[in-house]
Structures are given as structure tokens and as C-alpha cells.
A and B are shown apart, each in its own frame.
Chain A
């Protein structure tokens, strides 16, 4: 059994796996699938509905039993263990989260450790650690019931619960399918950040190609009847689709989609002129003139952005107040893909985005020009 805190995943291998829901002769849901999912990678199963992606995922923890073939985790056949025991060692996250409404947040996270009969002090310690990890302040969330949480908070608790016993493999079935696009982007970024720390083998099911390209180390594209159409890195699939089906499925805007392969953090950010409430206006004007942009970014005491200060509208003297800033800078995160960043920036009045870290502190600025330069250069940005 794994110990808490030990990072790392396990290799998951499908060997000629077939699943038929009907009697022999009926068309299979998954057809002779062979796949090697390397340890510590995010493998996204993507395809149109009826392609068997969810069935494929559910065969790993035996919520669905294969008709034929073999699935192994770190060399061990999943059928060697009783199903219940196997599942306690695999993280499981679903679209509607499925938190237990009658248990508090901390009791929900503690479910698998308690099924595994961990000692109470160890369970409590682990719960606190996990709530911190998914960005929920334990003091504020520990004792709350799921009904009082927002959609995003529930999804975070769901991820914490799946990670609780530190399983080497996590299964995620459209985990962000039911949240709005802005929150989805944020949760995707959080998961990527988390994965950088925990290094699990994640099998992630989605029907959304953009999500697949963003999240995956490797993408398995399935077509109707559970046939593997292509299995490769997102870059390789976008650069060279293996078939007409794949080309059609990833869409005509492949060039634009390649922007999804690079993240905001891969570009050099512009360093903004940072000002704070209370700064002397005269001094400020001098700095803004020297800088040449005519704009400065007002931040609060925790370095979080408040808004833009325009040199032309600055009063002659005295000190700066919060009311002088115009809010509305689009916020970006280092994990945001360039494609999402571009569409965010094009959709806002200020085509200069503020990049912030996980505590909302300003890291720098990103302009549309910087992104279009990447497009123009048509060089492949090194994958992060």
C-alpha cells in the first residue's frame, strides 16, 4: 500500500481489451483496445458519444468488467484483487462529484482512509493536508455540508476525496463538464498545478477536444465502437492527425489549437509599473512618463490587482486613491493556454491581461501582440 505524501503514479496497461454489453456477436462498446499509459502522466480519453471512453475508464476499477483481454496496474492484473479492495486504491472523480450529502467536507475526504482503517489522528492530519492542497481553508470548510458549497468548491472537495489515500492512479470522468467555462478553466489550471506536485497517473475522460489538448500528456482518440483512432501527445496529433476521422474530430482550426499547447508562463511577461494607494501623484506622473506607457497598475497591500491608473487623468498632486483606478483588466493565470488567453484578451476592452499566481498576486502583463508573435513565428513553443 502507498503511504501518504508519496508522490508518483503507476503504469496502466490495456492488453487487447474488449467489452460487449450484449451477447457474443453484438457490436462491442470497446474493441480490442491496447494502450500503455505511462506512470505519472495525464492520459485523456476523448471521442464522440458512444465511443466507449467512459466504459474504457470504468474497466480500470472494474465498475465495468471487460469481456476479454487484460488490464494491469504496475504489472498487477486488476482481477487479482477483490473489486472493493482494488477500488479503494484508485482515485475516482465524476462529473456530478457525488459528494455524500450527509457527511461534512472533512468526513467526505476521510471516506477512503476510514474504509482502509487508518488511525484517527492520521486521517485527521491527511484531511487537513488535502484541503490545503486543493485550496480550501480547512478552518472554513472542514465542518460544512456539501449542500452549502458552490459548484467549484464541491469539485475541489471531490478531487481531495479522490486523492485521500494517495492512490497511484486517478480516474476522472468529465470532472469539469458541469461547470461554467470560466470556472472550468480555473479548475483545469488547479488540477495541472496539483498534478505537478503529486505526479499521479490520471485517466481523464472528456468529449471536449480543447480540454483534452490542454490537460493531456497523451491523448487517446476513440471512435464509435471503441476503436482507438490515435494515441499520441497533443502536439503530435495536431501536427499529424493519423486519419481523416482524427483530422475532422480535432477540427479545422488546428493551427489555432496549437496555441493550446503553450501556456501563458511560456512567454516572457511585460513588467508593469506597479503603484499603490497612497503613492504621491507627482512622483507617480514622473515615473509614468519615464516608463512611456502612460499607464500604471494599482495593486492592494497583498499585491492583488485593483485596476489601471491613467497618467492623463491623474490629479496634479496629493496622494493616489483607489477610486482613480479603472477596474476591468482581464485576469490570466500562468497555466492558462495561449489560446484561452487570446480569446479572453480579444473579448475585453483592454487588450492587456494581468497574469496572477494562485494567491492572485500580480506576476506580469501579457499582450495580444506577444501571442500573435508566437503565431507569426510559427515555431513550436517548448511544451511545459
Chain B
């Protein structure tokens, strides 16, 4: 091990296919987690807005989910769902809920009351109002939540290498730590961090592009 160079670029070049595959897997796993998490959180947020007393319990439950160590969560799930993508995604989705529910509720609460009054007074139906008034105005805050959830999830995906998945985590754990091969660890870590940064910047750009009006005040 000691005679090994610090970083073997030749290994990276030889294994570009495998690395690219892991990046793809990482992105797909993150995408599924955020997509499903968003869908569930959105339904929960709409429910909370109709039945406000549900807010406290929802936050308590999603908070409890958030605090379960991932290792423990896998241990609980493996007997039921096995060493599968489903197990990994259940864990990943659970961790997005607290952030997303809170942000979506806060975003919708942040739509000014006079805007809602004007919308009602002009004859918007409930669904039209949600879709064409509330969501667009809430978008910047919702996207801010998605950014945090995405960055967190990109980090967490690596942990699923414990059940044989893991995207870039596979490079860190299976070909890295388990075989005492530093280059693979560095590659996995660097790419994982790069993905998180790119996703964060990309979402921020997307939000600016979708909400040109949010900057009108400073113009």
C-alpha cells in the first residue's frame, strides 16, 4: 500500500465507463428520491393547509424520520424490502420530507393575503388559484427547499453502498475502503461533492429563470 502513488490517474482513465455509470446511478437515485419526496410533501402540505392542526404532528413524524440513523433504517427495512433499490429510496425519501414539507407550507403561507383576496374577488376557482397564483408566487421558497433537500440527498446516496448500491458511494466503499484503494475513494468523494455543488447552482439558476419577477424590486 505504501508504495502506491497518491492518486492513480491511469486507473481513472481505465475505469471511465464504470465511473460514468456510477455518476448516472447517483443522479437517478437522487432524482427519484427528490421527485417522490416532493410529491408526498406537496400532498401533505396541501392537507395541512386545509387541516391546520395536522402541521405539528406531521413535523414531529417527519422530524423523527429525519433523526433515524440511516444504518438503523436499513436494518429495519431489509427484512421487509430486502437489499433493493426500494429499500434505499424509502430511506432517501424519508430524509427529504421534513425539509420539503416545512418549506412548501412556509412558501404557501407566504403568499400575501391581499393577493389571495384579489384572486377570489376576480373569480378564480380554488384549483386555478392554487395552480396559477399560489404556486408561482411560492416557487422561490419551494425551490430553496428543493436545493437543500437535493444537496443532502446527494450526500446520503453514498450511504446506500452499505446495501450494495450507492452510486459514487460504491467507489468510496466497495472499490475504495474495502480494497484499501485510495484513488477510488478520492474519485468518489470529489465527484459526489461536485454533483452537490452543480445541482445547487443549477437549481438556483433554474429558480432565477422561472421567477424573473422576484428580482423586479431591485431593478
Contact = CB atoms under 8 A, between A and B. Distances in A.
Interface in A58-111: 61, 63, 83-90, 92, 94-104, 111
A100 B115 contact: yes
Interface in A244-270: none
Contact of B121 (A61, A147, A148): A61
B121 A97 contact: no
B118 A87 contact: no
B125 A84 contact: yes
Contact of A101 (B119, B124, B137): B137
A89 B136 CA distance: 25
Contacts of B216: 101, 144-148
Query: Chain B: interface secondary structure?
Result: helix
B9 to A, nearest CB: 49
B137 A85 contact: no
User: Range of interface residues on chain B?
Assistant: 20 to 34
A85 B213 contact: no
Contacts of B119: 98, 100
Contact of A100 (B121, B137, B212): B137
Interface string B113-140: 0111111111111001000010011010
B53 interface: no
Q: Which of B114, B216, B217 has the largest number of chain A CB atoms within 10 A?
A: B216
A147 B122 contact: no
Given A94-B114, A96-B114, A97-B114, A102 B121 contact: no
Interface residues of A, number: 32
Nearest to A83: B123
Interface string B3-28: 00000000000000000000000000
Nearest to B212: A145
Contacts of B136: 102
A102 B135 CA distance: 10
Contacts of B56: none
Given A100-B133, A100-B137, A147-B217, A87 B121 contact: yes
Contacts of A296: none
Given A97-B118, A98-B114, A112 B133 contact: no
B112 interface: yes
Contacts of A103: 213
A130 to B, nearest CB: 14
B132 to A, nearest CB: 9
A171 B121 CA distance: 9
Contact of A102 (B120, B122, B213, B219): B213
Nearest to B217: A147
A377 interface: no
Given A144-B216, A145-B216, A147-B213, A101 B115 contact: yes
Contact of A92 (B112, B122, B125): B122
A312 interface: no
B137 A84 contact: no
A98 B219 contact: no
Given A98-B112, A98-B117, A98-B118, A85 B219 contact: no
Nearest to B218: A147
Contacts of B125: 84
A379 interface: no
Contacts of B133: 100
A100 B134 CA distance: 10
Given A102-B137, A103-B213, A145-B213, A86 B123 contact: yes
A94 B118 contact: yes
A101 B213 contact: yes
A10 to B, nearest CB: 17
A115 interface: yes
A99 B136 CA distance: 14
A89 B128 CA distance: 17
Interface in B82-130: 112, 114-125, 128
A97 B114 CA distance: 7
A84 B123 contact: yes
A89 B121 CA distance: 10
B50 to A, nearest CB: 19
Given A96-B114, A97-B114, A98-B112, A112 B123 contact: yes
Given A101-B115, A144-B216, A147-B216, A88 B211 contact: no
A76 B45 CA distance: 40
A119 to B, nearest CB: 19
Contacts of A111: 122
A94 B128 CA distance: 21
Given A84-B124, A145-B216, A147-B213, 17 more contacts: A87-B120, A88-B122, A95-B114, A96-B112, A98-B114, A100-B133, A101-B115, A101-B213, A101-B214, A101-B216, A102-B136, A102-B137, A104-B213, A112-B122, A112-B123, A144-B216, A147-B216
Q: Which 10 A-B pairs have the closest CB atoms?
A: A98-B118, A145-B216, A92-B121, A88-B123, A147-B217, A87-B123, A96-B114, A98-B114, A147-B216, A145-B213
